[in-house]
Amino acid sequence: MTRREELAEALAAVEDRIAAACRDAGRPRDEVRLVVVTKFFPRSDLDLLVELGITDIGENREQEAAAKLADGGVPSGVRAHYIGQLQSKKANAVTRWADVIQSVDRPKIVAALDRGAAAAGREVTALIQVNLDERAGAHRGGASPAEVPALAEQVAASDSLRLGGLMAVAPLDADPDPAFARLAGLAEDLRAAHPEADWISAGMSGDLESAVRHGATHLRVGTAILGTRPSHR
């Protein structure tokens, strides 16, 4: 089987899962976008995914993404998402290629991204990452729920960022449903103050059904499509 055939088969299986989850939740399939997480995988895989119809890709390491996109840039018609934890010193570099930053979690990052996007002459969509795991020692990144309103106001008031909504990762080794239900409530509160902030990025390979059930608009799926770290890299 060729790599293209492998990817096509995996994409079809994930699409079946998403479609079934949408049916079970009573939601139209077109309410949910698939972001294929291409971290650790080569540019050749990204190009094959685009040939297969993927329009959103995700990366979580700026240096790796920049190298991958150096030859040809982001493919035409594709939206690039940065989904990893971000250092403010990398903000300028990330805003040169990322259309969406999904991991905004503190005021310093908002300011740095706003400056970077302005310098690049671009408008970048920013999602506030929320920490849904408050167990001791279990922090998976993100602002506390109490910090979301102030961060949202800062993003909304910026010159070069657009407030898109919220992103979260389900707690490890726990039922994702309560966490994603909480995220849905936080998203509702955010939309009350900022109606345009209607994105909910939640759900990965192992819990996408739960995310769809609780209103996710964007799913971040890597392993179920690309496999584990590539031996064919």
Residue 183: per-residue pLDDT: 98
What is the model's pLDDT at position 214? 98
Mean pLDDT over each residue of the chain, to the nearest integer: 95
Over residues 74-105, the pLDDT tens digits come to 999 999 999 999 999 999 999 999 999 999 99
Cβ neighbours of residue 86 closer than 8 Å, sequence gap 6 or more: 62, 94, 101, 103, 104, 109, 113
pLDDT reading at 232 higher than 60: no
Q: What is the pLDDT of residue 137?
A: 56
Instruction: Look at residue 141 in the predicted model and tell me its pLDDT.
Output: 82
Look up the pTM and report it: 0.95
Q: Does residue 233 carry a pLDDT above 50?
A: no
pLDDT at 167: 98
d(CA 38, CA 57) in angstroms, rounded, equals 7
For the stretch 130-179, pLDDT in tens is 999 876 555 668 999 999 999 999 999 999 999 999 999 999 989 999 99
Q: Alpha-carbon distance 145 to 188, whole Å?
A: 13
**Residue 9 falls in which region: left (phi positive, over 0), alpha (psi -120 to 50) or beta:** alpha
Judge whether residue 231 has pLDDT over 70.
no
Residue 162 burial by Cβ neighbours in a 10 Å radius (0-12, 13-18, 19+): middle
